Structure 1
Amino acid sequence: MQYLEGRKYVVHAIFLAVALVFGARLFYIQVLDGSYKLAADRNTLQRLVQVPYRGLIYDRNGQILVQNTPVYDLMVVPREVKQLDSARFCQLLQLPLEELRTSLKAARAYSRVKASPLVQNLSTPELAAIQDNLIDFPGFSIKARMARSYKTENLAHALGYVGAITPAFLEKPKYAKYLPGDNLGITGLESFYEQKLMGRRGVQYRMVNVRGIEKGAFRNGEFDTLSIAGQDLHTSIDIELQKYGETLMAGKRGSIVALDPKTGEILAFVSAPLYEPSILTGKGMGNRYMELLNNPERPLFNRPLMATYPPGSVFKLVNELVALQMGVVTPETGFDCNWKLVRCTHRHEPPRNLSIAIKNSCNPYFYQVMRASVLRGRSTNKFEDARLGLAEWRRQVMSFGLGEKLGVDMSSEKKGLIPSPEFYDKLRGYHHWNFKTVYSLSIGQGEIGITGLQMANVMATIANRGYYYTPHFVRGIGQGGPLPEYTQRHVTSVEQRHFESLIPGMCAVVDGGRGATGASASLAHYGIAVAGKTGTVQNPHGEDHATFAAFAPANDPKIAIAVFIENAGFGGSSAAPMAALMMEKYLRGKVNNPRWENWLIGPGTDRFIRHH
């Protein structure tokens, strides 16, 4: 009996212990732990994300280029979709059944309980058709948002475009703040300044009943946060100059870059072939993008930043400046126009000094200038002498911002190529090359490559007599100025006095009378002195490329420009007049030159494009 009595107390103790455990747990859940209350609150709360207005984009004169416009997306929560009448749904939206299935599958893969976009950028008829019938399709809803629209048909390559964020992007920590269906800048300024343009999201909490009907703000909006609009971009682009440049380049391949040399601000940025920025907006954007991508003329290719070409005779100016700095020549140095060294472009007066050599673009003269720079009188070992000399020559050339990225406020910039001794070691073999291997660099040919932006920057550097500011598109962000790196002066290794030596010859290229290779760029009849240099770039794949680079007015430069036209032949007959028209447009606000306009814009301008 005592044994049974003992067991009774043990059973009582077990039940008491279990009761105490459950009681303690219940006390913890109801009094100490708030997670269950929070979960219950979530069943009656609706969290609404407020997407901010994306910053606007303006030109230098305050003309709006890019703005926002309301669009609508059809959202879906897969778990809430019940007995979907697919045939009727597809009929209302004019949506292929297979596309619906693919989109639903993607939505389920993202989340079964979170909303994600099923159809974006609904047109007004599509919105009207589905909105009145949403009650018959549980799990679907309409979400309004702002999308980009364009007030200009120009500047597509610089502005870039905005697109929906992809699942691959969402997996990256960099895009942790984004949600499915959000837009972000994909290319151009939209991409580079994404963090400035996007703004900051806001959140609102709303009480809803079991049927989802809103009952007002949660705790009087105590936990709500306001969205903050993105900052506006005030660009340095002169949109009227840009329009004119695109008109001149229509039907051609190439680029125009115009800078304000005193600030590094980009005034015009033309990449041809052209396309309108609105093409990459709205429903069907993906299909239109693929059409541009597969176009053999490559209109998406950003030529001023990505196309690298030998600069041709324009590079003779840099070559001369390096030689002047090294002290191996002076402005009064003369060389024979010796065709046994390298062929010249034409017969001309003897290049008795630098100005005559620049005016006539004498190839043998600049061959001998570079030979003096690289060899510097050394003759003990032709291989090692060339290695040492080329290394020093390259160091000074790169101080002009060549052979490396300038740092413009846009991605995808190419750095070009200024060949090094190591480059030729790899190309030809160690001790298997000498000056005769690299002499073509002296006239801007051979292995050298620069971009249109770099060429314009070289002109800005000469215009400033030895320094430049990093070229940039944005002169103001919100109420502030440009990014700090675009206000820093970059000084070349060449002294200012040597730059002054170039100006008379560059002016003679344009206004030097008989033999002037760039006479078609003259603005002398308006009292404007232009300093420039023509170039004809050899092209092993077809017709030569034409180039011209200049700045004006010569003694107080306000614009530096580089024009590059593929397969257009001599720079003086195509690129030079185009540069003149652009400079006249910017400096005078108008153009009165029907001869050259008819030549470049009128019937038959397809002569500048050769298909090989």
Structure 2
Amino acid sequence: MRKVLLPTIIIIGTILLVLRLFYLQIIDDTFKLKSENNAIKIQYDYPERGYIYDRHGKLLVANQPSYDIMVIPREIKKDIDIDEFCHLLHITRKDYDRILEKAITFSPRLPSVFLPQLNKAEYAAFQEKIRKFPGFYIQKRSLRDYQVKFGANIFGFITQASEKTILKNPYYKSGDLLGKQGVEESYENILRGVKGVKYIQKDKFNREIGSYKNGMYDTIAVQGEDINLTIDATLQEYGEQLMINKRGGIVALEPKTGEILALVTAPSYDPAILVGRQRSRNYTALYNDSIAKPLYDRGLLAEYPPGSPFKILTALIGLQEGVIDEQSSFVCHHGFSYARGRFMRCHCHGGAQQLHRGIYESCNTYFASTYMKTINKYVRPADGVDVWSRHLRSFGLGEFMGYDLPTGRRGKAPTSKTYKRIYPNGGWRSTAIVSNAIGQGEVLMTPIQLANMMAAVANRGYYYTPHIIKKIEGQKIDKKFTTKHMTTVDRKYFEPVVAGLFDVYNLGTAHALRVEGIDICGKTGTAENYAKINGKRVKLQDHSIFVAFAPKDNPKIALAVFVENGYWGARWAGPIASLMIEKYLRGKISRVDLEKRMLEGSLQSEYDKYTGKKETDTLLLKPTAPKVIDSSEIEN
């Protein structure tokens, strides 16, 4: 056996070695091309990125030509006229030395970007004299050409691939562009296309003498695929106009599909400012604006206490758990004493409250009582909280929702573990955490989670994962966006809640926001707002919140509106919600009184109170000659 083992190993090893050599020398030319790198110049042909359209086929993002000056440091002649070179490109000698040193550090033999994104005039001037500057050449690329001035948070932007990205993904080379943030990042692999490659033979004097092997290894560029977004361009633009001089977010969904109709963050900016030679400077200015935070997508990232809209879930869970029914009644004395003399204020009309009236009058007493009965149904409060939390998660709360945008937050749906950390010695009961009932306490939600909650209510118990892709040319969208998610609340319990939400507009806190001929179901909200200023916890102006869907039957839009420091729900968020709904369903506005108030109104003075600074950055979207309305003029 030992006599056979050694020869067998040698024979097998020899066969494997021969097969590997055969593959490398006959089948795979990669190493051959690399070995001849000194005599071959690799030239890339960059494709156009795919175009971006809205749900109706309106072109949102196209392309425009761009020209980069590339450099191969070792090919630069010592006798070139550097002063003339700098004059042509409008840079200083100091800039030239700095950029060249960086290029040498990257690689003296490989090309890298010397100066990106020349315009047509700069390109033409340099092209005429490029022969005088060996080692430099022009690489044509394409940049984004925005057809609209809105949707910057949706699109994202294009930037140069970082060294880290290049090391991680061999597709990208120095100077290559890729999408960052928004759909440009989410659908980068689809939008970017495929680079073409040309191998050019050089002689011993480093002169180009033609295609390597008659172009047998060359490939042509393949343009990126076009995509259609679920966004309604008209609605998106209108939402951004309504939010000028305010901070917050609007998320509108189509309930039956989960398609995102509008995703507004405020303040925003014109996406075109992140294109061209000034991109870096403009991005830096936006990034460093720590007051307005225009790069912070409040619709996806901002975690707020949901306030009174959360009462919808308190009611649904109470019905599902059997601790209340439609006739359950709690007496409200404009407040609710629940333990040790502590008191929860209420702004309803008082008296005996049942579910229907409790919803449209937004009675704190009713929902605090319902919440405590839900928790107290179980022997251990921890078990009650965990059951309650599981119901919340079935609506998409406390989790990343899985939508197709690269940023987001979980929000917070507290569990018994949350309260074990807060109360390490135990002893807590439902009375200690009752503020959860009205969307305060430890509950946090992002606007997109609130909008999704309303979509589930509109559908009477199910939702689809929110998404922004509607169509990819030649491909199917991810099946997870067409998978129905059922909540843990039975369908029969949604009808009485929907009836209460309908009368929020007819009898309750949003009666002044009705739109004739449209059956809107909604809920106002006011969330307390605290911040640390100079190390102290300070109460700031409350946030204005509103959630809604319409029409009541066969709903076509569900949305959530957050306006930071907006006092209360019916003051800012409510009117914006009504206007967005009418704009989408009818394409025109009948409530011109609300429209005028929202377009001309400003909360800037409110924000200036807390910062001591005023927003003067012209990069932010601002209206022409806005009229500032005194807050006392605005009705509840």
In structure 1, the partner of 2:618 is none
1:58 aligns with 2:53: yes
The 1:453/1:347 distance shift into structure 2, 3 A limit, reads: closer
CA distance in 2, matches of 1:376, 1:248: 45
Partner amino acid for 2:509?
A: T
In structure 2, the partner of 1:14 is none
Q: CA deviation at 1:611?
A: 3.2
1:87-112 Cα shifts (integer Å, max 9, x gaps): 33222212122222221111112211
Q: CA deviation at 1:299?
A: 0.7
The 1:138/1:215 distance shift into structure 2, 3 A limit, reads: closer
2:244 and 2:267 in contact (8 A); partners too: yes
Greater alpha carbon shift after TM alignment, 345-354 vs 444-453: 345-354
1:268 aligns with 2:269: no
In structure 2, the partner of 1:205 is 199
Partner amino acid for 2:438?
A: I
1:81 aligns with 2:81: no
In structure 2, the partner of 1:531 is 521
In structure 2, the partner of 1:566 is 564
CA distance in 2, matches of 1:291, 1:80: 37
Partner amino acid for 1:486?
A: F
1:346 aligns with 2:320: no
In structure 1, the partner of 2:403 is 408
In structure 1, the partner of 2:589 is 591
Q: CA deviation at 1:605?
A: 5.7
1:520 and 1:580 in contact (8 A); partners too: no
The 1:35/1:479 distance shift into structure 2, 3 A limit, reads: closer
In structure 2, the partner of 1:600 is 598
In structure 1, the partner of 2:17 is none
1:136-189 Cα shifts (integer Å, max 9, x gaps): 2221111111111211110111111110011222122xx211111100111111
TM-score normalised over the length of structure 2: 0.85
CA distance in 1, matches of 2:32, 2:327: 90
1:559-597 Cα shifts (integer Å, max 9, x gaps): 001000000111012111110000000000111222111
In structure 2, the partner of 1:496 is 491
In structure 2, the partner of 1:121 is 117
In structure 1, the partner of 2:625 is none
In structure 1, the partner of 2:185 is 191
CA distance in 1, matches of 2:602, 2:461: 41
The 1:183/1:546 distance shift into structure 2, 3 A limit, reads: same
Partner amino acid for 2:277?
A: K
Partner amino acid for 2:500?
A: G
Q: Secondary structure at the match of 1:121?
A: strand
1:233-254 Cα shifts (integer Å, max 9, x gaps): 1101001111100000001000
1:466-491 Cα shifts (integer Å, max 9, x gaps): 01000000011113342211111111
1:568 and 1:609 in contact (8 A); partners too: no
CA distance in 2, matches of 1:276, 1:593: 28
Matches for 1:239-258 after TM superposition, within 5 Å: 239-258=233-252
Partner amino acid for 1:389?
A: G
Given candidates 504, 507, 526, the residue that maps to 1:509 is 504
CA distance in 2, matches of 1:271, 1:38: 50
1:492-522 Cα shifts (integer Å, max 9, x gaps): 111111111211100010112xxx1012331
1:169 aligns with 2:165: yes
Q: Secondary structure at the match of 2:55?
A: coil
Consecutive unaligned residues in structure 1, runs of 5 or more: 1-31, 379-384
Matches for 1:89-128 after TM superposition, within 5 Å: 89-128=85-124
In structure 2, the partner of 1:483 is 478
In structure 2, the partner of 1:382 is none
1:519 aligns with 2:511: yes
2:372 and 2:431 in contact (8 A); partners too: no
Cα RMSD for the two superposed structures: 2.2
CA distance in 1, matches of 2:369, 2:320: 16
1:546 aligns with 2:548: no
1:519 and 1:572 in contact (8 A); partners too: no
Given candidates 56, 62, 76, the residue that maps to 1:67 is 62
CA distance in 2, matches of 1:423, 1:279: 44
CA distance in 2, matches of 1:592, 1:297: 32
Q: Secondary structure at the match of 1:336?
A: strand
Q: CA deviation at 1:36?
A: 12
In structure 2, the partner of 1:368 is 369
Partner amino acid for 2:244?
A: A
1:291 aligns with 2:285: yes
1:134 aligns with 2:130: yes
1:208 and 1:216 in contact (8 A); partners too: yes
Partner amino acid for 1:307?
A: A
**Identity value in percent:** 38
Q: CA deviation at 1:207?
A: 4.4
The 1:93/1:480 distance shift into structure 2, 3 A limit, reads: same
Q: CA deviation at 1:410?
A: 0.9
Q: CA deviation at 1:128?
A: 3.0
1:316 and 1:444 in contact (8 A); partners too: yes
Consecutive unaligned residues in structure 2, runs of 5 or more: 1-24, 338-342, 531-538, 611-636
CA distance in 1, matches of 2:150, 2:572: 22
The 1:220/1:594 distance shift into structure 2, 3 A limit, reads: same
Q: CA deviation at 1:260?
A: 0.2
1:425 and 1:432 in contact (8 A); partners too: no
2:582 and 2:589 in contact (8 A); partners too: yes
1:351 and 1:365 in contact (8 A); partners too: no
1:305 and 1:414 in contact (8 A); partners too: yes
Q: CA deviation at 1:209?
A: 5.1
Which is richer in strand?
A: 2
CA distance in 2, matches of 1:390, 1:364: 19
Q: CA deviation at 1:45?
A: 4.3
TM-score normalised over the length of structure 1: 0.89
In structure 2, the partner of 1:18 is none
Q: CA deviation at 1:287?
A: 1.2
Q: CA deviation at 1:43?
A: 5.8
In structure 2, the partner of 1:337 is 332
CA distance in 2, matches of 1:232, 1:456: 28
In structure 2, the partner of 1:557 is 555
In structure 1, the partner of 2:467 is 472
In structure 1, the partner of 2:438 is 443
Q: Secondary structure at the match of 1:600?
A: helix
